A and B are shown apart, each in its own frame.
Chain A
């Protein structure tokens, strides 16, 4: 089945279906080939993977250009997959503005990360495996954005979860890594329940899973009321898990246990983007349900606040970035909550570049110092100039400094929030101050001041593959710095696409026009305010962490309860893992059920046998060997049987 929808301003995309499938299949082929054949040939595995993703990237670009040429129309190619009774499921691809943008973001960031990994992962015994997993990861993400129906989307959604599990737990011999991988998978899966429920709901009520049909149902009002709200919330639950929204954000910081390029990929282009993509994809549905929309907005806001505040107290560079990601994802959800569909996607787009840049930069730093602990760094500005400057630009972009990419997208979010919901605006604005504060705290601690020596290499650890000398840090090799530079370009310039609302028009063509709200016009007032807030944040950071005008320990003493709360991540991990998972669930409930199983259920079974043998043991004493007892038995039998008959059947 092929469906084409022309955009308001152009023709439908005419791109061949084969190209779209090829985008998914290239990395998949690489995965299969590496797994089956070249596991043990690391270099070839790396090249194969890069080649595959490179092809995907090129094809994605072609697709983007094609869709651009059609000003963002929609093309859907769908095929029957299997059928069971009335259930008919399809496999299909859908290309439109949103998909095209996502494709390019995913494939480009992935390509750069892959290239970078060649340096970062050099010498790791699992090098081949690493590239196999990465290929699978990218396949899953590309498939997710190309899927034309909810079911297929769910499949790739789950595959994203799988690959993230494999990659986060890549260094599986580290208990923390294995644990983090498990945590990521399970926590996101809790969210996936919502998505699954949404699928069940929509199929049961309306017998369709095709995205465009669901859009139509929502717009036509057929899909409405409780079903609509539940469906929207179900989808959102999935997104909460995958996009690390409060309260399921806990897995993301732990996901740092994976290799840094993996973190870059997860935080920038894949995994967490999936949730935002899902919400954007189904924006017409969310938007049709005010309740769902409100929930999305406020959960986003809560996530913004939680992420930003926790980022303030981290000492681990990657964890700062991780919480920053949470916070930024919150921004995207918040944007969706204030009707900012295009804005959210736009922020996703720009965020991909600068966040990937920051992560890769942190990886570069790690390569020099053998640590992510900022307290062991300092003064790297001079020894690692490329890393420093690219990291700084990324930080500025994240903080929303004009005219970097982050400025444009964040500004628009604040604008939408201001127009539609002042409360959300307040949260977003305060958080943008905190954002600048914690990012520059990281920059100052890492690159300024004096070098504190990094982490000494532990030669006993056979799994360590650190090659340099932490005492004498140096700049990373070109395979690592070139991707940094390329991403820097993106972090600087990606925002300019939004000038003149071009990006918006393009992306908005992906959903039915009826679903759109008119975006507010650019407001200088908002732009200036947000810039000032960001600058204030930077200034504060400078004052505290560079100049030491105010001691951070002093501040900590003043706001001790808050600091304790933050340092313990609002006790959420403790609540989930120790209190709930371990105490309530495993030691409490499960133990109870198990106890019931062994005593009541199995006990009853064994009890029946026991009663049988026991009664047999007791009764056999009746068989005394006394012949007259037996004779009495016979006589008594006559009497009893006769009496029974007369009682049962009276004369």
Chain B
């Protein structure tokens, strides 16, 4: 029998995996992928909650996910644009190279 916890567990694992990717990848695009995975796991969690609850609450989860997907798209677009901008000025998108800004 599948319970809510099953889905939440997958969501949590996916979230943490995404976090690890975001925190460890050298390439900014790789980092972005990690972030997208985190957002996906949130979506999974929300939908799971939505599915396992009654009444009007259900629809809120779906709406939430819809918005998150939208925002993620916008964010990704901006991120990639910034990656291009960074690449133009620095010929790299490796985040550990981005250390001009420090004391």
Bound CA span A526–B98, Å:
112
Binary per-residue interface labels of chain B (22-35) against chain A in the complex, 1 for a CB within 8 Å, 0 otherwise = 11100000010000
B residues apposed to A, CB below 8 Å: 19, 22-24, 31, 95-96, 98-103
On chain A, the residues within 8 Å of B103 by CB distance are 620, 623
Is A548's CB within 8 Å of the partner chain B? no
Q: Output the nearest chain B residue to A623 by Cβ-Cβ distance.
A: B102
Asked if residues A628 and B23 are in contact (CB atoms below 8 Å), the reply is yes
Is A561's CB within 8 Å of the partner chain B? no
Asked if residues A624 and B95 are in contact (CB atoms below 8 Å), the reply is no
Tell me how far the C-beta of A332 lies from the nearest C-beta in chain B, rounded to whole angstroms. 81
Contact with A625, one of B19, B31, B102 (Cβ below 8 angstroms): B102
Contact flag A628-B96 (CB < 8 Å), given A620-B103, A623-B103: yes
Tell me how far the C-beta of B93 lies from the nearest C-beta in chain A, rounded to whole angstroms. 12
Binary per-residue interface labels of chain A (607-629) against chain B in the complex, 1 for a CB within 8 Å, 0 otherwise = 00000000000001001111110
Number of A-B contacts (CB under 8 A): 26
Asked if residues A635 and B23 are in contact (CB atoms below 8 Å), the reply is yes
Bound CA span A623–B98, Å:
13
On chain A, the residues within 8 Å of B96 by CB distance are 626, 628
Bound CA span A632–B101, Å:
18
On chain B, the residues within 8 Å of A631 by CB distance are 22-23
Contact flag A635-B19 (CB < 8 Å), given A626-B96, A627-B95, A628-B24: yes
Total number of A residues with any Cβ neighbor in B under 8 Å: 10
Bound CA span A614–B98, Å:
27
Asked if residues A625 and B98 are in contact (CB atoms below 8 Å), the reply is yes
On chain A, the residues within 8 Å of B24 by CB distance are 628
Q: List 23 A-B contacts (CB under 8 A).
A: A620-B103, A623-B102, A623-B103, A624-B99, A625-B98, A625-B99, A625-B100, A625-B101, A625-B102, A626-B95, A626-B96, A626-B99, A627-B98, A628-B22, A628-B23, A628-B24, A628-B31, A628-B95, A631-B22, A631-B23, A632-B23, A635-B19, A635-B23
Q: Output the nearest chain A residue to B102 by Cβ-Cβ distance.
A: A625
On chain B, the residues within 8 Å of A635 by CB distance are 19, 23
Q: Output the nearest chain B residue to A632 by Cβ-Cβ distance.
A: B23
On chain B, the residues within 8 Å of A624 by CB distance are 99, 102
Bound CA span A635–B16, Å:
10
Given contacts A625-B102, A626-B95, A627-B98, 5 further A-B contacts (CB under 8 A): A624-B102, A625-B98, A625-B99, A628-B24, A628-B96
On chain B, the residues within 8 Å of A628 by CB distance are 22-24, 31, 95-96
Q: Output the nearest chain A residue to B31 by Cβ-Cβ distance.
A: A628
Tell me how far the C-beta of A642 lies from the nearest C-beta in chain B, rounded to whole angstroms. 14
Tell me how far the C-beta of B68 lies from the nearest C-beta in chain A, rounded to whole angstroms. 19
Q: Output the nearest chain B residue to A631 by Cβ-Cβ distance.
A: B23
A-side interface mostly: helix
On chain A, the residues within 8 Å of B102 by CB distance are 623-625
On chain A, the residues within 8 Å of B99 by CB distance are 624-626
Bound CA span A626–B101, Å:
9
Closest 5 CB pairs of A and B: A625-B99, A625-B102, A627-B95, A628-B23, A620-B103
Within residues 245 to 282 of chain A, which ones have a CB less than 8 A from any CB in chain B?
none
On chain A, the residues within 8 Å of B19 by CB distance are 635
Q: Output the nearest chain B residue to A627 by Cβ-Cβ distance.
A: B95
On chain A, the residues within 8 Å of B101 by CB distance are 625
Tell me how far the C-beta of A334 lies from the nearest C-beta in chain B, rounded to whole angstroms. 82
Bound CA span A628–B99, Å:
11
Bound CA span A625–B102, Å:
5
Q: Output the nearest chain B residue to A629 by Cβ-Cβ distance.
A: B23
Within residues 53 to 76 of chain A, which ones have a CB less than 8 A from any CB in chain B?
none
Bound CA span A625–B94, Å:
13
Bound CA span A620–B101, Å:
12
Tell me how far the C-beta of A390 lies from the nearest C-beta in chain B, rounded to whole angstroms. 91
Q: Which of A620, A623, A625, A632 has the most CB of B within 10 A?
A: A625
Bound CA span A624–B101, Å:
8
Tell me how far the C-beta of A614 lies from the nearest C-beta in chain B, rounded to whole angstroms. 15
Tell me how far the C-beta of B94 lies from the nearest C-beta in chain A, rounded to whole angstroms. 11
Q: Output the nearest chain B residue to A638 by Cβ-Cβ distance.
A: B19
Bound CA span A553–B86, Å:
106
Bound CA span A626–B96, Å:
6
On chain B, the residues within 8 Å of A626 by CB distance are 95-96, 99
On chain A, the residues within 8 Å of B22 by CB distance are 628, 631
Bound CA span A632–B22, Å:
9
Bound CA span A224–B95, Å:
91
Bound CA span A626–B31, Å:
13
On chain B, the residues within 8 Å of A625 by CB distance are 98-102
Q: Output the nearest chain B residue to A630 by Cβ-Cβ distance.
A: B23
Tell me how far the C-beta of A612 lies from the nearest C-beta in chain B, rounded to whole angstroms. 16
Bound CA span A627–B95, Å:
7
Tell me how far the C-beta of A619 lies from the nearest C-beta in chain B, rounded to whole angstroms. 10
Tell me how far the C-beta of A402 lies from the nearest C-beta in chain B, rounded to whole angstroms. 100
Q: Which of A620, A624, A628, A635 has the most CB of B within 10 A?
A: A628
Tell me how far the C-beta of A147 lies from the nearest C-beta in chain B, rounded to whole angstroms. 74
Q: Output the nearest chain A residue to B22 by Cβ-Cβ distance.
A: A631
Q: Output the nearest chain A residue to B96 by Cβ-Cβ distance.
A: A626
Tell me how far the C-beta of B31 lies from the nearest C-beta in chain A, rounded to whole angstroms. 8
Within residues 577 to 633 of chain A, which ones have a CB less than 8 A from any CB in chain B?
620, 623-628, 631-632
On chain B, the residues within 8 Å of A627 by CB distance are 95, 98
Bound CA span A128–B32, Å:
97
Bound CA span A624–B100, Å:
9
On chain B, the residues within 8 Å of A623 by CB distance are 102-103
Bound CA span A479–B24, Å:
109
Tell me how far the C-beta of A509 lies from the nearest C-beta in chain B, rounded to whole angstroms. 91
Tell me how far the C-beta of A617 lies from the nearest C-beta in chain B, rounded to whole angstroms. 9
Q: Output the nearest chain A residue to B19 by Cβ-Cβ distance.
A: A635
Binary per-residue interface labels of chain A (525-558) against chain B in the complex, 1 for a CB within 8 Å, 0 otherwise = 0000000000000000000000000000000000
Q: Output the nearest chain A residue to B35 by Cβ-Cβ distance.
A: A631
Bound CA span A624–B96, Å:
10
Q: Output the nearest chain B residue to A616 by Cβ-Cβ distance.
A: B103
Q: Which of B23, B24, B99, B102 has the most CB of A within 10 A?
A: B23
Q: Which of A623, A624, A631 has the most CB of B within 10 A?
A: A631
Tell me how far the C-beta of A621 lies from the nearest C-beta in chain B, rounded to whole angstroms. 9
Tell me how far the C-beta of B39 lies from the nearest C-beta in chain A, rounded to whole angstroms. 15
Tell me how far the C-beta of A611 lies from the nearest C-beta in chain B, rounded to whole angstroms. 19
Bound CA span A627–B99, Å:
8
Q: Output the nearest chain B residue to A620 by Cβ-Cβ distance.
A: B103
Q: Output the nearest chain A residue to B28 by Cβ-Cβ distance.
A: A627
Bound CA span A632–B95, Å:
14
Bound CA span A635–B22, Å:
11
